[in-house]
Chain A
Amino acid sequence: MIEFESYEFQVTPELNDQYRFAVQDYHPRYEEIVHPGLLLNYSNLTRSPNFDVVLKSGAAVHTKEEVEFIKPGKVGQIFKVMWTIIDEYEKRDRLYTVIEAVVVAQEGIIIRRKTVGFVTKGE
């Protein structure tokens, strides 16, 4: 079974500011803490380098999501996201996929865990 490649990225102050702008949230805590919107977005499965190869699809439209906040991320840190398929099913002639995503900070600490259901588009 082909697995999703993990994805590593560093949150620079500039990247964090980009997300503060995107969601109009300029609270000063985000000078040190990674904006939660950034980690929500960067843990989307479409960030996996082989997303389109594994799912043979260009896009994943969210249907449901559960997210658990475990620790804040710090600006400057490197994060790694790992994804695992935990369910697949058909409904009304559409293929639905459920994955678990885990975001790990550079010390190896899990800071976010989420379960995402989506329908693929563009097969």
Chain B
Amino acid sequence: MAINSSTEIGAKFAGKLKTASNIRVLAFSGGEFNTPDWPKKNIHTDLEFAKTCGLKSRNVSGTQCMSYLTELMIDIFGESWFDRGKMELKFVSMVDIGDNLVAKAVVTEKELNSSKTKFTLDIECENHNGNKVVVGTATSWV
């Protein structure tokens, strides 16, 4: 799946199907396992807490969706992403517990210079209903 200097504008990439199941949401947002108060109460882990915050239900953390996008970026750019990756994201819709999600990307810009090629990608995380829940851009170099 890796990107390289010959990758063209319009090239599309997709990540693995992810399921934000209850136990995985608790693992992500509930604090460290094996601590006395696990899972810690917050809008992702506790319905009553979510309601006191004015929400109708618990939801999946935006950073959990960012993690899916980050995995796709590392699949595309390799481990150099850790040194020079950048994402700008908007969270456009709540993600429900149990949703299936896929990270997607398409190359929209490519800048060549003497030694490296800078790529800009439109990125999104889409749920099983085809709705975008996170949208944005990513940039890095190869």
- Taking Cβ atoms with an 8 Å cutoff, the residues of A that contact B are 14-15, 18-19, 21-25, 29, 33, 35-37, 40-41, 44, 46, 57-59, 61-72, 121-122
Most B-side CB within 10 Å, residue of A19, A35, A122:
A122
Given contacts A21-B24, A23-B18, A58-B49, contact A37 B79 (CB under 8 A): no
Given contacts A15-B32, A23-B18, A71-B82, contact A40 B87 (CB under 8 A): no
Q: Which of B33, B50, B71 contacts A18 (CB 8 A)?
A: B33
Q: How far is the CB of A9 from chain B (nearest CB, A)?
A: 9
- Residue of B with least CB distance to A111: B82
Q: Which of B52, B54, B70, B91 contacts A37 (CB 8 A)?
A: B70
- Taking Cβ atoms with an 8 Å cutoff, the residues of B that contact A are 16, 18-19, 24-25, 27-29, 32-34, 42-43, 49-50, 52-55, 61-64, 66-68, 70-71, 74, 79, 81-91
Q: Which of A18, A40, A59, A121 contacts B27 (CB 8 A)?
A: A18
